Amino acid sequence: MTGGSIISQIELIDSEIADHQKRVDRIEEDLHRADTSDGKQEELRDKKTKLLAEMEERRLKLKELRRENRKTSMFSAIIVGLMFLTYLIFSG
C-alpha cells in the first residue's frame, strides 16, 4: 500500500477489517446451519481461518499506521511550537 495519506490508508484498512468481519459472521451463520454438508463446512472453516489471518495482518498494519500518524502529528506540533517561540522572540 503505497501512496495516499496515512489517514486515508487507516480508513481503507478499517474498512477492509469491517468487510472481513462481515464475511466471517456470514460464514459463522452458514456453519451453524443444519443443512450444510461436511465438505462445505470444511471449506467454510478454511475460508474463516484465512479471513481471520488476513484480519490480524491488517490490524497489525493499522497499529503501525496509527503509530506513524501519532509521530507525524507530534512532529507537526513541535514545528508549530518552534515557529511560535521564534515569533515571540523576534517580535518583542
* The three grid cell numbers given for residue 84, joined into one nine-digit string: 511560535
Q: What per-residue confidence (pLDDT) applies to 48?
A: 96
Chain length of the chain = 92
Whether 2 has a pLDDT exceeding 60, the answer reads no
Q: Give the predicted TM-score (pTM) of the model.
A: 0.79
What is the per-residue pLDDT for 3?
Answer: 61
- Of 63, 31, 71, the closest CA to residue 48 belongs to 31
> Distance between CA 80 and CA 46 in Å, rounded?
51
Selection from 83, 59, 12 nearest residue 75 by Cα: 83
- Tens-digit pLDDT profile for residues 21-76: 999 999 999 988 878 888 999 999 999 999 999 999 999 999 999 999 999 999 99
